[in-house]
Amino acid sequence: MQYHNITKDDMLNGDGLRVVLWVAGCSHGCTKCHNPVTWDPEGGIPFDGEAKKELFEQLEKDYISGITYSGGDPLFINNRESITALAREVRERFPQKTQWLYTGYEWDEIKDLPVIPYLDVLVDGKFDVTKKNTQLHWKGSENQKVIDVQNSLKKGLIVLHES
């Protein structure tokens, strides 16, 4: 997996202060995407042991609420195995930290992927510039959903995350 950046002390991509991993690779091609530089799966740099160490050092801080996976698309086909392994390791090492993931895929397309049980919140759906709304919490367009993953899995239907 390739990545572009690790943002520390982020307040824009999930509840609380977070560390954000910006991965490379996206096939959605959303018009007016805020981060098209991340579309190329070969872009950025390899996610290696040093990058993981940097993430984990942030997650060890008491004031960090958790990790957010964004990009690009963490669920781009080339990223799925690496993101699943990372989310599993984060859950094992930092069970008290929340894990958020932003994807252009819809819940029904990805709800059975192996990574999903490790997540707390998933923001799904492609960014749609015709439905852009800067007043929305945690998402950029009205078609997207901020999903409470654990409750959705338990109930077998989409439960929205309450901010």
Q: What number is the average pLDDT over the span 11-26?
A: 97
Residue 163 in this model has a pLDDT that exceeds 90: no
Paired sense of beta strands 17-23 and 2-10, if any: antiparallel
Topology classification of domain 2-155: TIM Barrel (3.20.20)
Where do the structural domains in the chain lie, given as residue ranges? 2-155
Distance CA 133, CA 142 (A): 7
Distance CA 37, CA 40 (A): 7
pLDDT band of 34, cuts 50, 70, 90: confident
Q: Whole-prediction pTM value? A: 0.96
Cβ partners under 8 Å of residue 7, min gap 6: 13, 19, 20, 22
Nearest to 102 by CA among 156, 37, 34: 34
